[in-house]
């Protein structure tokens, strides 16, 4: 799950901006593909005088704090590409509006996460593909933890 916390001045985003930015962020992850419901975005409005950079008030600053659990980014080239891609997606909401901004991403362990009491299925498994299609968490069998293209031996239990 990517959890985005966006700390921003109160006037930075209206409801339509929040929806548009959320749709852009969600589309980025859906293209991997991961289930859209994995993507959670929280907008945290900061009152004037509540943000300081270098010990000085900075009311034109937006901070993007991202926790990524569903996937990890392998290697420096992909990590740089990912950050640059995020910068492009948020640019109309920050850069183009004259805000300063910062992004940080933490990658937390996949096995310390659940949704509606379900441990998320492995990447590209039959269960994950079903979750993408249904856009919700649901129970799955052991057999569904396998990649879709793997053929099971008949007679082997899936539980």
Q: Are 143 and 101 in the same domain?
A: no
Q: Which of 5-14, 33-42, 89-98, 139-148 has the lowest mean pLDDT?
A: 139-148
pLDDT interval class at 10 (50, 70, 90): very high
Q: Are 44 and 64 in the same domain?
A: yes
Q: Are 100 and 122 in the same domain?
A: no
Q: Are 12 and 64 in the same domain?
A: yes
Q: Are 103 and 151 in the same domain?
A: no
Cα–Cα distance for residue pair 102/23, rounded to 1 Å: 20
| Mean of pLDDT values over 108-122 | 90
Count of structural domains, the chain: 2
pTM, two decimals, is 0.86
- The conformation of residue 36, written as its DSSP 8-state character, comes to G
Question: What single string gives the DSSP state of each residue in 41-87?
Answer: EEEEEE-TT--EETTEE-TTEEEEEEEE-S----SHHHHHHHHHHHH
CA max distance for the chain? 68
pLDDT interval class at 13 (50, 70, 90): very high
* pLDDT above 90 coverage of the chain, percent: 79
- CATH number of the domain where residue 76 is located: 3.30.429.10
Cα–Cα distance for residue pair 125/135, rounded to 1 Å: 15
pLDDT digits (tens, 9 = 90+) for 54-96: 999 999 999 999 999 878 888 999 999 999 999 999 999 999 9
Token reading at 42? 């929280």
């Amino acid at each position: 799950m990517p959890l985005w916390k966006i700390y921003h001045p109160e006037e930075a985003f209206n409801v339509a901006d929040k929806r548009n930015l959320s749709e852009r962020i969600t589309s980025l992850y859906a293209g991997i593909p991961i289930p859209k419901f994995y993507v959670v975005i929280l907008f945290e409005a900061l009152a004037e005088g509540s943000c300081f950079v270098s010990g000085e008030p900075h009311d034109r600053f937006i901070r993007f704090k991202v926790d990524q659990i569903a996937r990890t980014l392998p290697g420096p080239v992909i990590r740089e590409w990912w950050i640059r891609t995020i910068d492009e997606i948020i640019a109309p909401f920050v850069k183009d509006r004259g805000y300063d901004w910062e992004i940080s991403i933490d990658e937390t362990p996949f096995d310390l996460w659940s949704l509606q009491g379900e441990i998320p299925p492995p990447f590209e498994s039959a269960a994950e593909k079903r979750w993408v299609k249904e856009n919700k968490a649901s129970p799955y069998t052991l057999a569904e933890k396998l990649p879709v293209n793997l053929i099971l031996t008949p007679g082997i239990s899936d539980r």
